[in-house]
Amino acid sequence: MAGKDRKIAVLGAGAIGSSVAADLTKAGYDITVIDQWPAQVEALRTKGLHVQIADGDIEVPIKAFHLCDLASANLEFDIVFLAVKSNDDRWLAEFIKPYLKPDGVLVGVQNGMNDDTLASIVGRQRVVGCCIELSAEIFTPGRVQRNTTHQGTWFAVGELDGFYTPRVKEIRAILSHVARCDVTNNIYGAKWTKLIANTMTMGPRGLLGLANGEASQLPGMFDVAAQAGRESLAVGAAIGYRIEPVFGLRADEFAGSNDENLMTAMKTLLGHVGGRSRTAPIHDHIKGRRSEMEFITGVVSRKGRELGIPTPCNDAVLELDRMINRGELGMEPANFELLKARLR
């Protein structure tokens, strides 16, 4: 695999997928964007994509397709970057499978631990893992607010078996136009470390509707986050995952005790996304969508039960999130008191 002659699809044109597509299009790659949001596809076709970002706005024309267009488009792709919520990864992997070349590769640019699911659909030899740290928001078709600068955005990619291959080197080179990008021989460990950070931040903060800076000031937030992180770390260790430096941290910055490493990861993530940004479940709630916490906090809760490891903090966060999704509870700051009460 080599060069900019690759046919690349970005499947999912939400905030993350659009940010990736904009940078790769600007870098000269042959990018096709495919999405299920009709208004977004039409805006991309007629007006192009505008990404607002502190280190320089990006405005580019975009080749965009509705899902229904692909059947007659006569396209095959060398690389597909799947940038959708974990709720949608299984059916969209099935959808794109016929359009992925026999030696093509599917890269899940997502939160969560979805690589084995993707591998079960398109084949393990056609999946490369990706761990992401990119904060962005989209509410208006064709316009994205990206919160992490290029220097403050971090990805890691890796073969599922840990080998260092030409294709993973190429994918790293491609994604280096979007973020600082590393290659890891421990992609499962890197993704679980990111999942731990998400259970500490996205978990409790995603119940409240507050900006990250506001949520950080709530009395007891640090302790709740630490408890969620310790539970997630214990479950990952029991599964066999080895945590490793993420978010561009060096090994010496991640060489303390487990508690110190958890706090380092959480503070680094929050520092990169900024105090004014809001975590993803809040965006989902505003848009009337179900959050993807079942694939983050929910993974810790379910695996904990299977392994006999108590996860009361993650269990409580998950149940409150489910109540919000069902409309039984509003997303509001008062939910933090409900969460603390359940933990007491």
Q: Which domains does the chain have, with CATH numbers?
A: 7-185 (3.40.50.720), 190-343 (1.10.1040.10)
* Rounded Cα gap, residues 138 and 41, in angstroms: 13
Mean pLDDT confidence for 45-63: 96
Mean pLDDT taken over the chain: 92
Burial of 234 (0-12, 13-18, 19+ CB in 10 A): middle
Q: What does the pLDDT read at residue 262?
A: 72
**Each residue's pLDDT tens digit, 60-70:** 999 999 999 99
Structure confidence at residue 2 (pLDDT) = 47
Contacts 24+ apart (CB under 8 A), 166-170: 166/1, 167/1, 167/105, 167/128, 168/128, 170/1, 170/2
By mean pLDDT, which of 155-164, 246-255, 282-291, 329-338 is the weakest?
A: 246-255
pLDDT tens readout for residues 148-188: 999 989 999 999 999 999 999 999 999 999 999 999 999 99
pLDDT in tens, 182-200: 999 999 999 999 999 899 9
Confidence of residue 256 (pLDDT cuts 50, 70, 90): low
pTM score over 0.85: yes
Q: Which residues have C-beta within 8 Å of that of residue 98, sequence separation ≥ 6?
A: none
